[in-house]
Structure 1
Amino acid sequence: MTNAQLASIQWGLFLSVVFLAPQLLFRQLTWRSAIITGYASMLFAATFLPMQTVPPRQSVQPVPFQWVADTLRDGQIAFDQMTLNVLLFVPLGAMLMFWGKRSLGQSALIGYGVSLVIEGSQLVWANRIFDVDDLITNTTGTALGWLGALAAVKVFTRAKATAVPQRSLAGVR
């Protein structure tokens, strides 16, 4: 993990505390709001912080799956970046499946849209590269999160259905 990625994680944790504290203080904090606030803070920090002061030498990377050539050329860093992009959007897919009651296609489309907004914003405000690979990996992460949440629901439902019912001791003397 690079220093910039570690700094992004630290910023995300800091922002999570900053945004969760008022909810806690005013007793408005729920599990759902805590998860959404924490995720949104981490997503913002990972995609925008720390801000780049020097513009990149290339502003748009339009070649799909360029990360493969970058991994062969640069080594593990490009592969790790791709993996982190996938993992960053897994929670979004899970939240859309659990709370949004969205289909896989709808969730992937929402993940793509969120990623497109982030990539465009990075290009305009954060001196970062608009990378088509990020659109692909973020959309994939959203779909994998949705599928993982569905699998968890199915496993939980199956385990609950096959559990041995507990006998009540109320009528036993």
Structure 2
Amino acid sequence: MTNAQLASIQWGLFLSVVFLLPQLFFRQLTWRSATITTYASMLFAATFLPMQTVPPRQAVQLVPFQWIADTFRDGQIAFDQMTLNVLLFVPLGAMLMFWGRRTVGQAALIGYGVSLLIEGSQLMWANRIFDVDDLITNTTGTALGWLGALAAVKVYARVKAVQVPRRELAGVR
């Protein structure tokens, strides 16, 4: 992990605390609000912080799957970056499945929209690159998060269904 990525994580945790304290103070803190606040803080920090002071050599990257060629050229760092982009949006997909009651297609479309908003904002205000690969990986991460949450729900339901008859056989209610 690079120093910039570690700094982003530290900023995300700091922002989470800053935004969670008022909720805690006014007794408005719930599990859902804490999760959403923490995720939004981490997402903001990972995509905007630390701010780049020097504009990038290239402002827009529109070649799909360019990260593969970058991995061969630059090594592991390009692969790690794409992996982190996928992982960054997995929680969004899970939240949309659990709380948003969205289909996988709707979740992927929302993930794409959020990613497009972030990429456009990075280009305009953060001196970062608008990268079509980020749109692809972020959307993929959202869909994978939704599918993972669905799998977790199905496994949980299956485990619960198996546990109920065992209790009844033992005479426990």
TM-score tier (shorter): over 0.9
Cross-structure match for 2:118: 118
Pair 1:57 & 2:74 matched: no
Cross-structure match for 1:48: 48
Cross-structure match for 2:37: 37
Residues in 2 aligned to 1:47 and 1:10: alpha-carbon distance in whole angstroms? 13
Cross-structure match for 1:165: 167
Cross-structure match for 1:11: 11
Residues in 2 aligned to 1:130 and 1:77: alpha-carbon distance in whole angstroms? 18
Aligned positions of 1:9-158 closer than 5 A: 9-158=9-158
Q: Which residue identity does 2:167 align to in structure 1?
A: P
Q: Matched residue pairs, number? A: 169
Q: Which residue identity does 1:132 align to in structure 2?
A: V
Q: Secondary structure at the match of 1:56?
A: coil
Deviation at 1:165, TM superposition (A): 2.1
Residues in 1 aligned to 2:119 and 2:172: alpha-carbon distance in whole angstroms? 57
Residues in 1 aligned to 2:29 and 2:96: alpha-carbon distance in whole angstroms? 20
Q: Secondary structure at the match of 2:167?
A: coil
Residues in 2 aligned to 1:57 and 1:165: alpha-carbon distance in whole angstroms? 65
Residues in 2 aligned to 1:10 and 1:78: alpha-carbon distance in whole angstroms? 22
Q: Which blocks of at least 5 consecutive residues in structure 1 are unaligned?
A: none
Deviation at 1:26, TM superposition (A): 1.0
Q: CA RMSD in A?
A: 0.9
TM-score when normalising by structure 1? 0.96
Deviation at 1:2, TM superposition (A): 0.6
Q: Which residue identity does 1:121 align to in structure 2?
A: S
Q: Secondary structure at the match of 1:52?
A: coil
Aligned-pair identity (%): 85
Determine which structure has the larger helix proportion and give its number: 2
